[in-house]
Amino acid sequence: MTTKTTDGPALSDASLSRMVENLKKVEQLTERLGQVMAHRQTHRQALDGPNQELFAKAQQAYLTEAMTNPAKLMEHQMSFWTRTMTHFVEAQQALAKGTLTAPEDNTPSDRRFANPLWQTHPYFNFVKQQYLINAQALEQAVEDVTDMEPREKKRLAYFSRQIIDMMSPTNFLATNPDALERAIETEGESLVKGIENLISDLEANDGELIVRLADESAFKLGENIATTPGKVVYRNKMFELIQYTPTTDKVHKTPLVVFPPWINKFYILDLKEQNSLVKWLLDQGHTLFMVSWVNPDSTYRDVGMEDYIEDGYLAAIREVKAITGENKVNLVGYCIAGTTLALTLALLKQRGDTSVKSATFFTALTDFSDQGEFQPFLTDDFIDGIEGETEDKGILPSVVMARTFSFLRSNDLVYAPAVKHYIMGETPPAFDLLYWNGDGANLPARMAMQYLRALCQRNELAEGGYDILGHHLELGDVDVPLCAVACETDHIAPWKDSYRGVRQMGSTDRTFIMTQSGHIAGIVNPPSKKKYGHYVNPSLEADHEGWLEGAKFHEGSWWPRWGAWLKKRSGKMIEARNPGDDGRKILGDAPGEYVAKKANH
């Protein structure tokens, strides 16, 4: 015997029985979910969104607009009412015909609504169209607010967009045809797996919901990710220093030291052999050292930017010089490590230390006068919340930063994977880049607040100078030959802001390259992929618009261009150096111990 659902597949009695059993499992798992949430580690509410002051100001501004320009307000209200009623009437007319077909749909293309049922099924089509009408009305309401400071209005627009994205019908089982079809096809098993995935993610983050983007069981450091051979040749409380095994008989005399960001792990530059910048640099004949930062716990509460400079950058430079017997090194700083590299170079200039031959900056900001998409998170209410969190825990937990970065691209990095993971019951993909993205690191309390308050909020380095280690540092102090690489669609370190900082540096030898794509894909862009091109303009006299207007586009990766630049500053070729040649004790194999430590443990 079978039962046929309306316009749906025929279900046998056995299938219905299995679905009932699976729904019972869902109920049991829901109880377990409640227990997880009851024991979750809480965080300050200020980290979840703006304080009520922002919405109070928006309400006041909206009321003011209604008083001063009621015709405009009524026009938009009537437009919303008219579209809603017209939509309802069209749906009713379609149903009255008895054909169960959706009305005409001229809504724009949206990959969230790719299932044909969003177009053809009257229920799903009605839900989708009304959602889009509501979304447009809310966006228009925000746009109509005029009596607000631009900074506050930008925040209002951002958080309103978050509400719109969160309320998409694709995010809920009852209004997601893909999820409902999967539940029927799997006899409810997809719902069981989805709840299990949700509980697993909550348990992994002490009750904080961070959507797992990759199958973590598919990767193991040193085995199928971060596999380039090398040795740990130095370790202190801040970092491990990895010296990689050369792949050429001859190497350049001047060694190269890479400082990755300590918000994430270094192996983004060594995911696999095909796209490893580490492997590529070795093949170009460089003696390559990588700094692998410690993943701090609460005992690092009082570690500040001065510790990262003194016991990080300066210690690494000292050790590399001792290992290689050279008196100069080339340096690379990526993201926040590039910001701190600028501080280090300014400090060395004031100390009269000429150890650095050249510096390369990957997607690094040194002028924060335009905070871009991060502006909603750099106001006092949010930073005050972070400060309270760091005072309580001694660290800024990785989950806070991961969530913030994710919500800058919420549909791609939060809701879409959450739907697949929790509603569809799918296992996350075995994707190395997404695995790395989820393997974050904590920040020490003192360092986090120095960075957010002095550098980001007050922009001290670019505007007046930054005081640290007994020196007053300014961007103009950076005078070594430098190459800066920025990414065209980078939402974390916008290329125009990176360019603005480079223009303020004091070096007379400056090269600026803008590559296509974003913060990660633009940097991890091996020549073999032949994927993204790059722009070059030797003149840095104009502002960013003028620079781009005069720039020449080149097909292919920027790596060879930078490689040629670096080669000119790396000295003659000598016999290859191997880890341990200087007689010091080898502390372990790459990728080392520090990189394996997970956040919040």
483 counts as catalytic: no
Degrees to nearest 5, angle at CA 237 with 234 and 238 = 80
Amino acid at 139: E
CB atoms within 10 A of CB 327: 10
CA 451 to chain centre: 17
Interatomic CA distance for residues 271 and 275, integer angstroms: 7
Cα 182 from Cα 424, distance rounded (Å): 7
Residues 547/227, Cβ–Cβ less than 8 Å? no
Phi, psi dihedral angles at 454 (to 5 degrees):
-80, -45
Contact 537, 512 (CB under 8 A): yes
Amino acid at position 246, single letter: P
- H-helix segments, 352-397: 380-393
Which helix (H) or strand (E) element contains residue 183? helix 177-185
Q: What are phi and psi of 242, to 5 degrees?
A: -100, 130
Residue 130 identity (one-letter amino acid): Q
- Name the DSSP class of 327: S
- Phi, psi of 387, rounded to the nearest 5 degrees: -60, -40
Cβ-proximal residues to 283 (8 Å cutoff; 6+ apart), any chain: 247, 248
DSSP-derived 3-state class of residue 560:
helix
CA 532 to CA 481: how far, in whole Å? Answer: 26
Q: Are 62 and 145 in contact (CB under 8 A)?
A: yes
- Residue 600: count of CB within 10 angstroms of its CB: 18
Q: Which residues contact 328 (CB under 8 A, 6 or more apart)?
A: 254, 321, 354, 355, 356, 357
Catalytic residue among 335, 456, 483, 487: 335
Residue 508's CB is within 10 A of a number of other CB atoms, namely 7
Q: Are 177 and 118 in contact (CB under 8 A)?
A: yes
Radius of gyration of the chain (CA): 27
> At CB < 8 A and 24+ separation, what contacts does 116-119 make?
117/177, 118/177
In DSSP terms, 329 is beta-bridged to 356
What positions carry a catalytic annotation?
A: 335
